[in-house]
Amino acid sequence: MTATATTTTTATTTTTRTTTTTATAAAAEAQGDSRDSTSSRQSETVISLQGQQQHQEVVTGKINEGKQQQSSLEKKLWRRIADIIIHYLKQYWFLVGLGTVIGLAWAFPQVGKTNGAIEAQYTVKWGAVIIIFLLSGLGLEVKVMFHTILRWRLHLVVQIMNFIFMPFFAYGIVRFFLKVGADLDMSVYQGFMIAFSTSTTVSSNAVMTRNANGNDSAALVNAALGNVLGIFVSPALMQVFGDDTNVFTPGTRGTVDYLSVLKTLGLTVLLPLVVGQVIRYFFPRQVKYLAAKLHFSIINSLALLCMVWSVFCDGVASNAFHQMSGADIIAIIGVDIFMYLLGCSACIALARVPWPGKSTPRLIKKWRFSRQDAVAIMYCGATKTVSLGIPLINVLYSDKSFGMVGVLSLPLLMYHIIQLFIGNFQVPFLKRWIEKTLKEIDQEESPLSNRSNNDTPPSEEENASLPINSTRRRTAV
C-alpha cells in the first residue's frame, strides 16, 4: 500500500512538472509570437516610411525635371528671340545706325555742325567723301569693268532711266502739286528735284543685285559710270530745273558754278575713284586681302553715316527742320515710295518689254535683256545715291544757310532708306524669278545630256532649242 502511494505521488509530481513545462513552453511561445508581431509591425512601418520617402523623391524629381524643362524652354525661347534680333540687326544695321546718328544730331548738334567742335566742313564733308569713293575705287574689279563696259546698250538703258526718266517724272509730280495748290513747303519740291537728279548708288545696288542672283558685274560698272557722269549731269539737271521760278523761287536757287562744282566733286569724288582703281590694278591681291580683313564695305557705310550725321547737325543747329510740317513729311515719304516702285516697274518693263499673246515679234525678242540683266537695270536705274547727293547740295548751296542743306537733303535721305527697305524685300522674289527660268533651261538641256550619255547625236530640233552661245555662267532669258 505504501508502494502504491509512493507511485501515485511520483506520477502526480511528474504530471505537475509536465504541466509546468507545457505552460512555460506556451508562455515562451506566446512571448515569441508577441515579439515577432512587434518586429513585423516595425518592419512594416519602416517599409511604409521608405515607400513614402521614395514616392516623395519621385514627385520631387518630377517637379525638378519639369522646372528644368521649363527653364530649358525659356532659355531656348530667349535664345531664339536673341538670334532673330541679331539677324535683323546684322541685316539692317545701316538703318539702325541711321536712326542712331540722327538721334545724336538732335541731342548734340553743336558737335557735327559746320564750324563746330570737329570742323565738319573739312573732316566730314571732305574726309568722309574721299574715303567713300577711294574705297569704291578699290572695290571695283578692273577686269570686270573692262569686260562689261562694252555692253553699251545695257548701260544706255540704265543711265537714261536714272538721269532722264526719274528726274523728269519727279518734275511732273512737283508741277502737279503746284497746280492743285498743295500746302507743302517749297523746300520739299526743291529737295525732290535735287534727290532725283543725282546718280545711282555706289554699292548697295550691286549688293542687292548679287543677292538676287542678278548680273552684279553690270551693276558695278553702272554704279561707277553713273557716279562719274553724275559729276557733270547732276549740276546740269539742276541748272535746267532751276530755271523754273515756280519751283525755285528767287533766292532759293543753288548757285551752279561749274568750275567750282567740277573742282570740288573732281577732288572729292573722281580723283579718289581713279586712285582706287589704279591701286587695285597694280596691287590686286593686297587690295583684296585688305578689303576682306578691314571690311571696306562697312567702313564705306560708316563714312556715309558720318555725312548724314553732319547734315542733320547743321539742320538741327539752325532750327531748319522746325519749318517742316507733318504734311511735308507724309508727302516726302509717299512720293519717295511711289517713285521707287515706279522706277523699278519701268526698268523691268523696258528691259523685258511685255508682249500680249504667244507669238512675240522678232524685234522684241532681240531687244529683251536676260532676267539677270533686268535685275541689274532695275536696281541701278531706280536707286539714288546719298554719297554724291549731299556733296552736290553742299556745293550748290554753299552760299546759303547750313540748315538749308539739311532740309533739302531730307527727301534724298528718306528715299535712300526706302530703297534699302523695299530693295532688300524684293531680293527673294527676284531670286525665285531668275531661278525659275534657270530650271526651265536645265530641263531643255536635259534631252541633249541624255543623248550624249548614249553616244547618240542630237536632232536638229533639239539643237535649235539650245542657246547658241555657250558661256560659263547660265543666263535666264
Among 27-41, 52-66, 215-229, 397-411, the least confident range: 27-41
C-alpha span between 63 and 67 (Å, rounded): 6
Q: Residue 456 — pLDDT band, cuts 50, 70, 90? A: very low
pLDDT at position 415: 92
Q: Kindly tell me the burial class for residue 443, based on how many C-beta atoms sit within 10 Å of its own C-beta (0-12, 13-18, 19 or more).
A: exposed
DSSP string, 190-245: HHHHHHTTS---SSHHHHHHHHTT--HHHHHHHHHHHHHHHHHHHHHHHHHHHT-T
Exposed, middle or buried: residue 377 (CB in 10 Å: 0-12, 13-18, 19+)? buried
Task: Give dist(CA 81, CA 88) in Å, integer.
Answer: 11
Instruction: Output the CA–CA distances (angstroms, integers) from residue 31 to 25, 41, 90, 345, in the order listed.
Output: 10, 15, 86, 107
pLDDT for res 146: 73
Cell of 247: 519751283
CA dist 142 and 75 (Å) reads 50
By the 8 A CB rule, do 210 and 372 touch? no
The dihedrals phi and psi of 395, each to the nearest 5 degrees, come to -75, -45
Mean pLDDT of 465-476: 43
- Amino acid, single-letter form, for residue 356: P
The pLDDT value given to residue 26: 54
At residue 175 the predicted structure's pLDDT band, cuts being 50, 70 and 90, is very high
Residue 80 has pLDDT above 80, yes or no: yes
Average pLDDT over residues 154-161: 94
Are 224 and 136 a contacting pair, CB within 8 Å?
A: yes
Model confidence pLDDT, tens digit, residues 378-428? 999 999 988 778 888 877 777 666 667 778 888 988 898 888 889 888 988
Residue 448 has pLDDT above 60, yes or no: no
Q: State residue 48's pLDDT score.
A: 66
What pLDDT sits at residue 475?
59
CB neighbour list of residue 134: distance below 8 Å, 6 or more residues apart: 272, 273, 275, 276
Which of the four pLDDT bands, split at 50, 70 and 90, describes residue 451?
A: very low
Cell of residue 367, nine digits: 531687244
Residue 289 host element (H or E): helix 284-294
Measured distance CA(229)–CA(170) in Å, rounded: 20
Q: Look up the pTM and report it.
A: 0.68
- Which of 19-33, 44-58, 86-100, 379-393 has the least mean pLDDT? 19-33
Q: What is the mean pLDDT of residues 220-249?
A: 86
Which of residues 458 and 124 earns the better pLDDT score?
124
Q: In this predicted structure, what is the pLDDT of residue 468?
A: 33
Specify the pLDDT at position 465: 35
* Residue 186 to residue 247: CA distance in whole angstroms: 7
Q: Which residues, 6 or more positions from 207, have their beta carbon under 8 angstroms from its beta carbon?
A: 297
Rounded to an integer, the average pLDDT of 204-227 is 84
Residue 234, pLDDT > 60, answer: yes
Place of cell 542743306: 405
Give the model's pLDDT for residue 401. 64
Distance from C-alpha of 305 to C-alpha of 292, rounded to nearest angstrom: 21
326-375: per-residue pLDDT in tens? 899 999 999 999 999 999 999 999 999 998 877 888 899 899 999 999 99
pLDDT of residue 21 exceeding 70: no
- Rounded CA gap, 477 and 472, in Å? 15
Cα(386)–Cα(198) distance, integer angstroms: 8
Q: What are the start-end ranges of the H helices in 92-203?
A: 93-107, 109-112, 120-123, 127-139, 142-148, 152-160, 166-180, 186-195
The pLDDT assigned to 403 comes to 65
CA distance 102 to 94: 12
Largest CA distance in the chain: 172
- Mean pLDDT score of the chain, rounded to an integer? 78
Q: What is the pLDDT of residues 254-278, one digit of tens each?
A: 666 667 767 777 787 778 888 988 8
CA dist 14 and 144 (Å) reads 132
Set of cell numbers at residue 62: 518630377
pLDDT at residue 462 in the model: 39
What residue has cell string 524685234? 363
The letter for the amino acid at 414 is M
Distance CA 105, CA 309 (A): 6
**What's the confidence (pLDDT) of residue 271?**
87
Give SS3 for 30: helix
- Judge whether residue 463 has pLDDT over 50: no
